[in-house]
Amino acid sequence: MHDRPDILFIQTDQLTPSVLRAYGDPVCHAPHIDVLAAEGVVFEQAYCNFPLCAPSRMSMATGRLASRVGAYDNGADLPVSTPTYAHFLRALGYKTCLSGKMHFVGPDQLHGFEERLTPDIYPSDFLWSADWEAKGHADATDARMLDLSGPCARTVQMDYDELVTARAVRRIYDVAREADDRPLFMHVSYTHPHDPYLCTERHWDLYDPGQGQGANDYAVPMPAILDVADEERDPHSLALLRQHGLLEHAVDPEKVQRARRAYYGAVSFVDDQVAEIRAALRATGRENRTILIFSSDHGDMLGERGMWLKKTFFENSLRVPLIVHAPDRFMARRVPDPVSLLDLLPTLIDFAGGSVDALAVEPLDGKSLGPACRGETTESRDVIAELLSEGTPAPAFMIRRGRFKFTHCPAFPDQLYDLAADPTEMENLAHDPAHADRIATFRHDVAARWDVDGLEADIRLSQRRRKLIADAMAKGRRVSWDYVPAENDSAWFRGQCGYNDWAFDRVPLPSKDRA
């Protein structure tokens, strides 16, 4: 066993754990992810800390709540002076590499990574900044997500994710050839199964109900709660449905089934990418020295309660899969305690042999999952989440404590759910006198943790600043912050050494595989 392991972090986009067999789904075809779960440590209740792409990733990367680092929405920049896990691991002697989506906003498109292998798939400027003062939501997802779902020959997202895999695989082989013996931290980040709900015909056909012995053996399950009457919805859910252009659309079970089937197909597409990455690790003999972490940035409502996508604190939106695979280091086990992506940075420092106390220059909001991976007893902890972007007119907060989930937003009524007794979150207990003391405690904890009024003022100021800058930058010559990697032509023969030295430079098979 290598004392300084390589660390490979595979991250998906908008993957809710409820669709994976490791989390109880009966039909999902993702055999390579299933193997990771069967051989690894599965965190059964893992959460993101902001159910939206960029803020979730920035919170995860810094180990601090999005409100602490100014990551308020998909168009907010992460300050260059904010350390990320790439900085910490680099300080510990790791080479750091990113292939795929990270959704960095601003002129720093590396944030501690030594190299990026691909461009990003989303804009790096202030185009997607939230605006609480706007009457509508420009470029918001609309009903086409359901009307146009299904199989297709190709999408730009498929092109992108296959590029992410190809570049990552090539880099794994390059690392095996290099004289640089530093351990590797590689973040491989995909955009699937993010909407639109589309997949290839091959992946669509994996879920053909006619393939099994019974009529529904392979049928993708429908939502547990297909719809909720508008008068029974909370105001935040109504606002999200309105933003997504779905409030006036009646729920069509056939469209729901079609979109969910395409989503499952997209998960199977991700599984194919995982297989290619792991094949490269095996071929280079680096699999046993690698700790592989598999997760997502947030989930997807997938038609539960008639809702889709994210930006809500309901379980399908807020929860993520989290699997740590390193059979030579950690026994296969399942961890039932709630954890979150804030725990990732201290976990990476732990795996790399470092100390958070020695490295961190300010308190982090998470704790290492290393003890849980090693089977040690750990204390239960609160899980915290925020929503500070469009879709809510004021800051919103969530605290998961034990079996209870509490949400608070000054613009909406409080919500309290007993997840053990009510896993579909249909009974709001916030106004139940039996829980009055619990509600009072939660409200006190929100006030103690967040300066709600001050945070709202900071967010509104940030939105106005970014709007002014975005409007100004749209005039005259446009200067892009997008990351455009230069093609590494030095890999091809250009007389940089003897031809045979170049031609025979290879990754030999591990000794155990040689005849």
- Return the number of other C-beta atoms located less than 10 Å from residue 169's C-beta: 20
Q: How far apart are CA 388 and CA 49, in angstroms?
A: 11
- CA 449 to chain CA centroid, Å, is 24
Three-class secondary structure of residue 513 per DSSP: helix
Distance CA(362)–CA(290), nearest Å, equals 29
Tokens linked to 99: 């292939």
Q: Is 103 an active-site residue?
A: yes
Any catalytic annotation for residue 87?
no
Helix spans in 352-484 (H): 356-359, 370-373, 436-449, 452-473
Distance spanning both ends of the chain, measured CA to CA: 24
What 8-state DSSP symbol labels residue 185?
Answer: E
Alpha-carbon span 420 to 400, nearest angstrom: 12
Find, among 15, 108, 8, 6, the residue nearest to 56 by Cα: 15
Other residues' Cβ atoms within 10 Å of the Cβ of residue 105:
27
DSSP for 277-298 reads: HHHHHHHTT-GGGEEEEEEES-
Residue 222 burial by Cβ neighbours in a 10 Å radius (0-12, 13-18, 19+): middle
For 50, the token pair is 């902001």
What six digits make up the tokens of 288?
A: 């046993």
123, 116, 124: which is closest to 167 by C-alpha? 116
Residues 6+ apart with CB under 8 A from 333: 41, 42, 375
3-state helix, strand, coil in the chain (%, to 5): 35, 15, 50
Which residue out of 32, 87, 103, 203 is catalytically annotated?
103
Q: Which of 28, 32, 48, 53 is catalytic?
A: 53
Catalytic positions, written as ranges: 53, 103
